[in-house]
Amino acid sequence: MIVVLTGAPGAGKGTQADLLAAKEGFRKVSTGDALRKHVRMKSPIGLQAEAVMARGELVSDEILFEILREELGPDSGERILLDGYPRNVAQAKTLDSLKETHPVVAAIHLDVDAGELVNRLSGRRVCGNCGATYHVTLTPSKTAGVCDKCGGLLQQRADDREDSVRTRLSVYESTTKPVLEYYRGKGLYQRVDGLGSTEEVFGKLKGSLSGVKFR
């Protein structure tokens, strides 16, 4: 069973999905994380995707379908939180084609306004070693540039630079937003206000999930 966690880049989907995985027994599947792993491994998919991702554009639906099947695996009745997929209506329909094994039971939209998104993305820093995420002013590490958890060096994602951020937000507006309507039409859509501390948003998400009927 799949809960789609959707929202603009920088809305906090990854952070909240990590928390829901740690505390509520979901398995997080992030297509962005899976693609970054392919880029690090320099796999054929990684080599094709790297430049597209750095520009902030969308990787092809064909590659994403491969990633999706690889990451979802066979049906095991588990609760999966899908972060970063679908990014367009064609992908939403592709996901529906897997409904026998992986039905979508809810689509939760983490809603944050555009000004806040730019601030969050431009200040985001990620540990190159363990992937922990910080923000230079909102959630800084104890020592600037160094990960609290593993001592690794913090880096800015190539697609968090200004040009790419602009592209990602406009791709979201034109291509991903229609996905919200798609799920609204199916009666699966729920909006959660993404403003507030990590804990506050987590509380709101849990409230929203408590109403979801898992089969």
Q: Let me know if 161 is a catalytic residue.
A: no
Residue-wise over 57-68: b if at least 16 C-beta within 10 A, else e?
ebbeeebbbebb
Which residue type is seen at 166? R
Contact set for ligand AMP, span 27-86 (CB under 6 A): 31-32, 35, 52-53, 56-59, 64, 84-85
String marking each residue 131-150 x if it binds ligand AMP according to CB under 6 A: --------------------
Q: CA Rg, the chain, in Å?
A: 17
> Which strand ranges, in their side-by-side order, compose the sheet holding 124-127?
133-135, 124-127, 154-155
Q: Let me know if 168 is a catalytic residue.
A: yes
In whole angstroms, what is the distance from residue 46 CA to residue 155 CA? 19
Count of residues near ligand AMP by CB under 6 A: 17
Q: Given the complex with ligand AMP, which of 35 and 151 has the nearer CB atom?
A: 35
Contact set for ligand AMP, span 101-130 (CB under 6 A): none
Segment holding 67, helix H or strand E: helix 61-72
Considering the candidates 28, 36, 120, 124, report the single residue annotated as catalytic.
Answer: 124
Interacting residues with ligand AMP (CB under 6 A): 9, 31-32, 35, 52-53, 56-59, 64, 84-85, 87, 91, 159, 168
What residues are annotated to the active site? 13, 87, 124, 157, 168
